[in-house]
Structure 1
Amino acid sequence: MSIALTSGASLHPLVLPARADAADAGEFRELSRVRNAVYRELTGRSEQDLTPEALLPLLRSRPERTTVVWAVRVDGDIVGRAVVDIPHEEGSRVAIASVEILPRVWGRGIGRAVAPHIEAVVRQHGRTVIQNWTEQQASDGRRLQARTGFGSVPDDHVARFLARQGFSLEQVYRVSRLDMAPSAVERAEALLREAEGFSTDYRVLQWMVPTPAEHLDGYAWLKSRMSTDAPSADLETDEETWDADRLIAAEKRIAEMGQTVQVTAAEHIATGELTAFTELGIGPDFHGTTHQHDTLVLKEHRGHRLGQLVKSAALLSWRDVAPDSPDLITYNAEENRPMLSINEAMGFVPIAYEGAWKKELT
């Protein structure tokens, strides 16, 4: 059932097709196309494009979260989407939501009209906090400072919309790019040698997803610690529970999306414990951009250059996986100085910033 928003605009609950190429997948495929167009216009880049086949697994509900998706239409044409994720972690107060609309229809009150419907879903699930992550186009104009005191985003249409809806800018992520030039390889080789001198009690392990059985439990534990050990400012962060079954399901989604992912981990030799990791991934086009996904060093093992160890080892081995990938993109909290220092030493340069926003419902 469609919901009237403003003159000519409406909200349509989206029933996901069983397959992206199914006979009834036309609306979903169009929503996928518009989603890519919105991201391109917001960021000025294309590496966040996803095919319908890759997007579909991300929008399905799963045991650890419920996902609600709407298509936003103007005069019958899809111009954007709204998405709400409800995590199922025990005691969670959080919902993660976004409204993504083509800039050509901004200023008509459509986003403002969608907001109450998002809040209604959030309240129905007993949640009291909405969080949002949005990357904004680079700008030389006024800036809005994060509450952490680290980093800022343009005080543009996107920021003003979120602020008017009652969101505060809690944290800023730096988007960094590395040109996969021969000089990057040389820097990584030098950084790896340096890190090895500080981490003699550890060794590097690498594998391609799906994870081998002997590493499932250790890697799942590292994934769970991403929710507690990574910088999160004053955001509401649920402590996630990962086990081998959840990891196997996540890696099946990666395969369904057509993604290739390599995991590089540091193992504590004396105990066999996995203590740090980083992930590199790429889509079906091996000439496209590589993405660095989760990276973490467990708090109790910091101070041994393990972040530098796994990131430089990962880059060097990635040449054999995707030698034609021209660049690497990564996201890091602006207050995460240890990780940013590693990136800067590797040759990453900042290209954009992403805001993490929070709204407390009354």
Structure 2
Amino acid sequence: MEPQTDIGPCDPNQADEATLAEYYELMVASAKIDRPHEPTTSYEAVIGRLRRPGPGAYTMRYWFAYQTGKVVGHMTLSLPMLETPHLASIEITVHPDFRRRGIGSDFLRTLFPVLHAEARTTVEGWWITGGSVGEQWALARGFQLTHAAVGQRLALQEVDPSLWAIEPPAGYRIQQWIGHAPDALLASYADARAAIHDAPLGQAVLESPEWTPDRVRLAEQVLRADGVEQRVVVAVHEGSGTVAGLTELKLPPYAKGVAQQQDTAVLSAHRGHGIGACIKAYMIRWLLASRPDITAIRTTTGARNVHMIRINHALGFVTVRSWVVVTGELSNLEARLSS
């Protein structure tokens, strides 16, 4: 007889060490199946991501699934509070030894009343490995593929540094900072961040933030409070004194040795000059010179963004993973699971 599955909400910051250890075991075991070519992530990194998912205008909620008192599954719910207020983003992970037992569907059923109470009508799942059992499970329950992306990794000690010797184009200068944009560049930096909206996201519903100077300052404050070092490199247009392009990188305190490359964007009026490659190469050189403990950089790029993928490959990044986004209407998901 199949043991009963109990699903209950959890607070990662209040969970005891035994529960967190079981959660870590769940995530490592799942990664070995779903992402076999990636190195095992440390306990500190896995628990750090659980407890500090990063800045953003979201409400976060969490559930664990237990069998005989042991953690066998986990679900994260992200509720955007500004853009796309009708959307709910979810992540569901079930231990490989406990898959095909209905736990994932039980998670969804647990979620439905919560989504109705929050007036959410669309559900989106991110970070699903392309072609995996997770993708197959989602499609079988009424989700549809709406976006695809690739994960890329740069091993800093294994790449010829000459690839990063890229000078800024004429008429532009490079500026850098950690954690706090200069007041003189704040407005144009916020405008430049909005250029990420041009990045292809397929039919995925989740939208990039609408950046304003106040929102930039709030995001910086949240990162500092979480102990995250945020590095920014921008190309400044000499003629106007405004930011023409930017690239951002995060160094969370729990991700030892690995930096997380974030958004890179160039305003449309300044494209075609090699600014993207230049600022990313500058970021790599800066990181190497000041943080010798960092051995790798990870990034994610939309599969249709062939231009940025090509830039990353030219800088030495290697594609290590493909992942997909799935989207479903709440009413359709409920009907599928009730039939």
* TM-score, normalisation: structure 1: 0.80
1:40 and 2:50 matched: no
CA distance in 1, matches of 2:26, 2:241: 43
1:230 and 2:225 matched: no
- Identify if the C-alpha distance between structure 1 residues 57 and 214 changes in structure 2 by more than 3 Å, giving closer, same or farther: farther
Q: In the TM superposition, what are the counterparts of 1:8-157 in structure 2 within 5 Å?
A: 8-17=4-13, 25-26=16-17, 29-30=20-21, 33-34=24-25, 36-37=27-28, 40-41=31-32, 42-44=34-36, 45-47=39-41, 50=45, 52-53=47-48, 55-58=50-53, 64-89=57-82, 92-136=85-129, 153-154=130-131, 156-157=132-133
Aligned residue in 2 for 1:318? 287
CA contact (8 A) 2:248 2:261 kept: yes
CA contact (8 A) 1:53 1:257 kept: no
Structure 1 residue 93: Cα displacement = 2.7
Bigger drift between 36-45 and 103-112 goes to 36-45
CA distance in 1, matches of 2:306, 2:151: 14
Q: In the TM superposition, what are the counterparts of 1:144-183 in structure 2 within 5 Å?
A: 153-154=130-131, 156-181=132-157, 183=159
Cα RMSD of the aligned pairs, angstroms, is 2.7
Aligned residue in 1 for 2:190? 220
- Identify if the C-alpha distance between structure 1 residues 39 and 272 changes in structure 2 by more than 3 Å, giving closer, same or farther: farther
CA distance in 1, matches of 2:182, 2:286: 18
Structure 1 residue 260: Cα displacement = 2.5
Tell me the secondary structure at the aligned position of residue 127 of structure 1.
coil
Aligned residue in 1 for 2:336? none
Corresponding letter in the other structure for 2:228: Q
Tell me the secondary structure at the aligned position of residue 173 of structure 1.
strand
1:272 and 2:241 matched: yes
Which of residues 280, 303, 315 in structure 2 aligns to 1:346? 315
- Identify if the C-alpha distance between structure 1 residues 321 and 29 changes in structure 2 by more than 3 Å, giving closer, same or farther: farther
Q: Unaligned regions of 5+ residues in structure 2, if any?
A: 332-339
Q: Deviations over 1:282-329 (max 9, x none)?
A: 333786122211111223322221111111111111112222322222
Q: Deviations over 1:194-220 (max 9, x none)?
A: xx3xx3222211111233443433333
Q: Deviations over 1:131-177 (max 9, x none)?
A: 111242xxxxxxxxxxxxxxxx22x3212111112111222211112
List structure 1 runs of 4+ shifted beyond 6 angstroms: none
* TM-score, normalisation: structure 2: 0.85
Q: Unaligned regions of 5+ residues in structure 1, if any?
A: 1-5, 137-152
CA distance in 1, matches of 2:78, 2:104: 18
Tell me the secondary structure at the aligned position of residue 99 of structure 1.
strand
Q: Deviations over 1:32-69 (max 9, x none)?
A: 53564256333233348625455323289x7x222221
CA contact (8 A) 2:48 2:254 kept: no
Percent identity, please. Answer: 23
CA distance in 1, matches of 2:25, 2:222: 22
